[in-house]
Amino acid sequence: MIVSGDTLKSLAQEAALMPQEEMLEVGKKEKKLYIGIPKETAFKENRVALAPEAVGLLAAHGHTVVIESKAGLKANFNDTDYSEAGARIVHDREEVFKADLIFKVAPPTNEEIDMMQLKQTLFSALQLTIQPKNTLKKLMQKKVTAIAWDYVKDNSGIFPVIRSMGEIAGNTAILTAGRYLSEEMGRGMMLGGVAGIAPAEVVIIGAGTVAESATRAALGLGAIVKVFDNSTYKLRRLQNDLGQRIYTSVITPKVLAKALRRADVAIGALRAQAGRTPLVVSENMIKEMKEGSVIVDVSIDQGGCFETSRVTSHEDPTYKEHGIIHYCVPNIASSVPRTASFALSNIFAPLIIDIGEGGGMDKIIHDNAGFRHGVYMYKGTLTSSYLGETFGLSYKDLNLLMAAI
């Protein structure tokens, strides 16, 4: 039987007027989380994973937060701040590690792993270049699910923690350079010039987040800025984001050496995708720099990009080599721990709420590809190909594991 168009239209209208079955939204099963925040014991790690305001937000959503006494002291948060926000303060360190979700800034130590329970979830930095093999094996034995917060992506595909810490590091690097440049051991000059006096020249090596933040800070103080990177795409993007033209160049030894001879400050802001940062500034280039000039090597976390760089500490942050002041403190964001802790909290707190509202850790790992990108161990199974190949450990593709669930 052939049905005309008018008949079909009439039948559709009639069907629309008929009583319909009520469709109820099927909500996700919310899960209350038990979160433990231990005091950081890593060398010069002054940050804390969650600020009191973030703890208050989590407590308001029904989550339980247990924090070790004095965990936030180096970031100027005291125990009272946390207890008033709704956290439970404990003095027994082992009590913190009974929580289902352990939140840390630095990677766990062997002592901390020994205190962990079976099948816990660990949320901390990974730090690929210094991750010990025995640490991974211990986590695997405890069937831990481990997430590296520095490798979690957001909905736009960027790494929010790396970007936030990079912004802090870049800004802090310029302020640090300005302080040493103006002191007696430096050149005794300001970064920005005043009427009739030429400003300082700043060379920034790299064109990522750290470099952009450093460039903005230096330009804001009135300095002349030159940026070097091997990616013309990054250099172009930097200029577009700044909204103004600055000197940019690809990294070629002759051009870079010429810029460094004129520079008063040099900032190392290169980041390696894996392994060590490339050495792009030779010792001969540094010998030709002005005496009293300042080098701040933010890349020292991955080995540094200046040949004369060696790791220093917050207690003894600088040394002079060939008459040039070197500042090579790893984890430069930790020198402003309160600001850095707030920045981490702004990312972590909404993420924890999403985990709870989404039905728990397994559910968000399964559903959220950006979050899944940060998982390097799932219930004791190593899922990072880089770690597996580096240490000769067996690993499995997390996406295949998720497909089987």
What does the DSSP assignment read for 79-137?
HHHHHHHTPEEES-HHHHTTSSEEE-SSPPPHHHHHHPPTT-EEEE---GGG--HHHHH
Kindly list the distances between the CA atom of residue 317 and the CA atoms of 77, 237, 291, 304, 359, in Å, as whole numbers in the listed order.
25, 33, 18, 15, 46
For the segment 148-194, what is each residue's pLDDT rounded down to a tens digit? Answer: 998 899 888 888 998 999 999 999 999 999 999 998 788 889 888 78
Domains assigned to the chain: 34-151+336-403 (3.40.50.720), 165-335 (3.40.50.720)
Return the pLDDT at 25: 44
Quick one: which of 18, 49, 216 has its CA closest to 123? 49
Return the pLDDT at 12: 41
E strand or H helix that includes residue 291 = none
Cβ–Cβ under 8 Å, residues 149 and 124: yes
Return the pLDDT at 26: 46
Task: Measure the CA–CA gap between 218 and 191, rounded to whole angstroms.
Answer: 7
Return the pLDDT at 209: 94
Task: Measure the CA–CA gap between 291 and 296, rounded to whole angstroms.
Answer: 15
Length of the chain: 405
* Regions of the chain where pLDDT drops below 70: 1-29, 128-131, 274-275, 404-405
What are the tokens at 155?
Answer: 């909905």
Strands 145-148 vs 375-378: parallel, antiparallel or unpaired: antiparallel
Task: Measure the CA–CA gap between 234 and 81, rounded to whole angstroms.
Answer: 42
Cβ–Cβ under 8 Å, residues 285 and 256: yes
The strands making up 121-124's β-sheet, listed across from edge to edge, are 88-90, 64-68, 34-37, 101-103, 121-124, 145-148, 375-378, 381-382
Task: Measure the CA–CA gap between 387 and 274, rounded to whole angstroms.
Answer: 11
Task: Measure the CA–CA gap between 33 and 39, rounded to whole angstroms.
Answer: 19
Q: Give the burial string for 148-164 (b: 16+ CB within 10 Å, else e).
A: bbbbbbeeeeebbbbbb
Q: Is 179 helix (H, G, I), strand (E, B) or coil?
A: helix
Amino acid at 344: L
**Phi and psi, residue 382, nearest 5°:** -70, 130
For the segment 72-106, what is each residue's pLDDT rounded down to a tens digit? Answer: 999 999 999 999 999 999 999 999 999 999 999 99
Cβ–Cβ under 8 Å, residues 330 and 314: no
What are the tokens at 255?
Answer: 């051009």
Kindly list the distances between the CA atom of residue 321 and the CA atoms of 26, 289, 291, 303, 332, in Å, as whole numbers in the listed order.
66, 11, 10, 17, 21
Task: Measure the CA–CA gap between 247 and 218, rounded to whole angstroms.
Answer: 13
